[in-house]
Amino acid sequence: MRFMSAAVFLGLAGLLLATPVVAAELEISDARLRVLPGDRPGAGYFQLHNPGEAAVAVVGAETDAYKSVELHMSMEQDGMAMMHGVERFEVGPGETREFAPQGYHLMFMQPQATLNVGDDVDVTLLLEGGGDVAATFEVVSPAAL
């Protein structure tokens, strides 16, 4: 009997672990990647809408076009422009957040190839708790923003 209970428990645990994580439905629009010449970082700006009924937190991003992607926040403090990394940003239910200069944005570090204005870059936003959301960012010049 004890063996049967353990077998049933392990079977149920296996089913739960095998269940895929369903990503929240986030809507990404107006995704732009501002590039600078050479090996300088690029900056990603976009609008992110959460049509769901629960908050969703983005905890990272990745792309094959850059060695790494960081979440950043720009702000002004004591008359000085400052930028720092953040570990996550949350989008509440029904909320739309704009990721723009002087606010939240993505920093694309160490380009892996030369990008030109008009190119498309596939980016994946990583969500807290698992799951991800794919987006295509259009490469734009720094003067475009």
Asked if residues 45 and 101 have their Cβ atoms less than 8 Å apart, the reply is yes
pTM as predicted: 0.78
pLDDT cut 90: percent of the chain above it: 64
Instruction: Write out pLDDT tens, residues 80-134.
Output: 777 778 899 999 999 999 999 889 999 999 999 999 999 999 999 999 999 999 9
Q: Encode pLDDT of 30-45 as tens digits.
A: 999 999 888 899 999 9
- CA atoms of 94 and 88, how far apart (whole Å): 18
The residues with which 42 forms a beta bridge, in sequence order, are 108
